[in-house]
Amino acid sequence: MQDKFKQLRTYLGEVMDLAATAELLGWDQQTYMPPGSNEGRSMQLATLSRLTHEKFTSDELGSALEDLKSIVEELDPNSDDARLIAQVSKEFDKQRKVPNEYVAEFARITALTHQTWEKARQESDFSIFRADLEKIIAMRQEYANFFQPYDHIYDPLLDDFEAGMKTADVKKVFADLRPRQVALVNAIAESSYQVDDSVLHQEFDESTQWAFGEEVIKAFGYDFNRGRQDKSVHPFTSSFGNDDVRITTRVAPNYFNTALFGTLHEAGHGMYEQGIGKQLARTPISHGASFGFHESQSRMWENLVGRGKPFWIAFFPRLQEYFPEALRDVNLDDFYRAINKVERSLIRVEADETTYNLHIMVRFELEIALMTGELSAVNLPEAWNQKYEDYLGITPPDDAQGVLQDIHWSFGGFGYFSTYSLGNLISSMLWEVIQGDLPDLQSQFEKAEFGGLLEWLRANIYVHGAKYEPMELLKMVTGSALDADPYMRYLEAKFGEIYKL
Ligand code: ZN
């Protein structure tokens, strides 16, 4: 039995090595690769992803899993080995349902579509993208149908990002959240008190911004001995195993929020990966529990910590030392309000905490309508603009600032968007539990001490990797199912105070 486990671990280790190598090439592509090398790199990545898929869906792995089935029944169902085999079996069955020809064709189509989307966005013309998007939608419907029977055609897509989560669950929690978020955003817009954030729109030296961000994430506990930070057009986190987890950021010379909050966000993702239990290394469960759980961590460090008053009590005096001219005469409270300014804006990635989920709901509802066939691609821009009017009270002036703003649909990422909002909700649910366990937390932050929080997160969440399904882990840690109340309590308290509601 031990031998069979050992063989399985060795085999899975090789699969993970291939995947990590592809990840490293992808990281390089977005950081240091010369622009002219794109074609060769795409070939290398395609080869590696084909080899990974072949190895992970091989008959050899299938019979190894089959052999271990009877043995697993004798193990503690919550042991690492039992969980590893259960998760690998589930993923194996799932990937085997998708024909190789589909995988190759989908990779080919999405590579082309990405270019069409870029061109369409540049020219702000949805009609350039429409035919390709129709193909992608048809292929995603085909994909979902490999997994029949399902309750909803969107379920198999969602499951790729948030294992075990159903469309009906997300619909239910969004239906609860939507009217409360809309009401809060309206109340803020109508408040006689408004926030001035001009202090953030000054000249901030780029390398000084970089140095400040690194000082903060070192204090958080991001480990530079097992990670690094580089520049990229869009910030992201890459893990090549828990001892090499890299983050990227971008710096805007005339706007303070871009670099710092991007850095804190990615460091949150990074610390999660760095904290995963060593015993899970080189297995397919050696990563975060789900996209939503991952986002709960990036958002926790970015927003619940980094946009909170206690954090700035510690770091605003430091920031003033970094930028004496720009910030010497600014007081802490004004700065705190500026970084938390609420605005009904068109662009999701720039949205504040109160409006962010509304951007997500627009996309979630449209994706479902596209998948069920209720909405066709030709009517998508109009439907998009109508939802922005309904939920945010604004209408995009053009497609670039509307329906073409996000990359996700161009790579076929239907099912992805809702995980951003799930992350917000999960972060606040965890936060309430953490406050109970660590009543001293806020005063620790005021002294720039974050070890208590990081240790708690490591012990309760990070160490488990993807051993548990996300909603199972949430229940274990908080005792509750997914719930919008903690997030609304958090928003109403914080923004009620800032906007004097
Ligand atoms: Zn993120």
Number of Cβ within 10 Å of residue 282's Cβ equals 16
Distance between Cα 167 and ligand 1 center (Å): 21
- Please report the DSSP string for 263-330 in residue order: HHHHHHHHHHHHTS-GGGTTSTTSS-S-HHHHHHHHHIIIIIITTSHHHHHHHHHHHHHHSHHHHTT-
Q: Whole-prediction pTM value?
A: 0.95
Give how many domains the chain has, as a whole number: 2
Number of Cβ within 10 Å of residue 397's Cβ equals 11
* Under 8 Å between Cβ of 421 and 360: yes
* Under 8 Å between Cβ of 18 and 55: yes
Q: What is the pLDDT of residues 207-249, one digit of tens each?
A: 999 999 999 999 999 999 999 999 998 899 999 999 999 999 9
Q: What is the pLDDT of residues 52-90, one digit of tens each?
A: 999 999 999 999 999 998 888 889 999 999 999 999 999
pLDDT of residue 194: 95
153 found inside a domain: no
Q: Average pLDDT for residues 140-162, to the nearest whole number? A: 97
E strands, 139-214, are none
Q: What is the pLDDT of residues 452-471, one digit of tens each?
A: 999 999 999 999 999 999 99
Residues in the chain: 501
328 found inside a domain: yes
Q: Which residues, in sequence order, are CB contacts of 451 under 8 Å at separation 6+?
A: 221, 444
Tokens (6 digits) for 438: 């660590």
Q: What is the pLDDT of residues 325-336, one digit of tens each?
A: 999 999 999 999
Q: What is the pLDDT of residues 269-312, one digit of tens each?
A: 999 999 999 999 999 999 999 999 999 999 999 999 999 999 99
Q: What is the pLDDT of residues 474-490, one digit of tens each?
A: 999 999 999 999 999 99
183 found inside a domain: yes
> For the sheet containing 229-231, what is the strand order?
229-231, 245-249, 237-239
Q: Average pLDDT for residues 378-383, to the nearest whole number? A: 98
Q: Are residues 99 and 184 in the same domain?
A: no
The domain in which residue 460 lies consists of 167-498
Residue 238: helix, strand or coil by DSSP?
A: strand
Domain closes at, from 90, 111, 134: 134
Question: At 35, is the pLDDT very low, low, confident or very high (cuts 50, 70, 90)?
Answer: confident
Domain closes at, from 92, 118, 134: 134
151 found inside a domain: no
Tokens (6 digits) for 122: 């540049």
Distance between Cα 496 and ligand 1 center (Å): 26
* Under 8 Å between Cβ of 491 and 357: no
Q: What is the pLDDT of residues 305-320, one digit of tens each?
A: 999 999 999 999 999 9
Question: At 165, is the pLDDT very low, low, confident or very high (cuts 50, 70, 90)?
Answer: very high
pLDDT of residue 103: 85
**CA–CA distance, 326 with 13 (Å, rounded to integer):** 51
Q: Average pLDDT for residues 245-266, to the nearest whole number? A: 97
**CA–CA distance, 42 with 38 (Å, rounded to integer):** 6
Number of Cβ within 10 Å of residue 138's Cβ equals 12
Q: What is the pLDDT of residues 410-431, one digit of tens each?
A: 989 999 999 999 999 999 999 9
Domain closes at, from 134, 149, 180: 134
pLDDT of residue 413: 95
Q: Average pLDDT for residues 32-52, to the nearest whole number? A: 87
**CA–CA distance, 483 with 328 (Å, rounded to integer):** 42
Q: Report the amino acid identity of residue 286.
A: S
Tell which residue, 45, 40, 39, 43, has the closest CA to residue 20.
45
Whether pLDDT at 399 is above 80: yes
Q: Are residues 326 and 230 in the same domain?
A: yes
161 found inside a domain: no
Distance between Cα 99 and ligand 1 center (Å): 31
Q: Are residues 309 and 355 in the same domain?
A: yes
Question: At 348, is the pLDDT very low, low, confident or very high (cuts 50, 70, 90)?
Answer: very high
Q: Are residues 348 and 487 in the same domain?
A: yes
| Region of 477 on the Ramachandran plot (φ > 0 left; ψ -120 to 50 alpha; else beta) | alpha
Whether pLDDT at 375 is above 90: yes
pLDDT of residue 280: 97
* Under 8 Å between Cβ of 314 and 446: yes
Question: At 107, is the pLDDT very low, low, confident or very high (cuts 50, 70, 90)?
Answer: confident
Q: Average pLDDT for residues 118-138, to the nearest whole number? A: 96
Question: For the stretch 7-45, what's the b/e string if a residue is b when 16 or more beta carbons lie within 10 angstroms of its beta carbon?
Answer: ebeebbeebbebbbbbbeebbebbbeeeeeeeeeeeeeb
Q: Are residues 102 and 215 in the same domain?
A: no
Q: Are residues 103 and 204 in the same domain?
A: no
Whether pLDDT at 9 is above 90: yes
* Under 8 Å between Cβ of 237 and 273: yes
Whether pLDDT at 1 is above 80: no
Distance between Cα 275 and ligand 1 center (Å): 17
Catalytic choice (54, 118, 162, 266):
266
pLDDT of residue 285: 96
Q: Are residues 110 and 174 in the same domain?
A: no
Q: Are residues 120 and 227 in the same domain?
A: no
Q: Are residues 130 and 172 in the same domain?
A: no
Positive/negative CA dihedral, 178, 368, 128, 36: positive
Distance between Cα 295 and ligand 1 center (Å): 5
Does the annotation mark 266 as catalytic?
yes
Whether pLDDT at 497 is above 80: yes
Q: Average pLDDT for residues 136-161, to the nearest whole number? A: 97
Question: At 49, is the pLDDT very low, low, confident or very high (cuts 50, 70, 90)?
Answer: confident
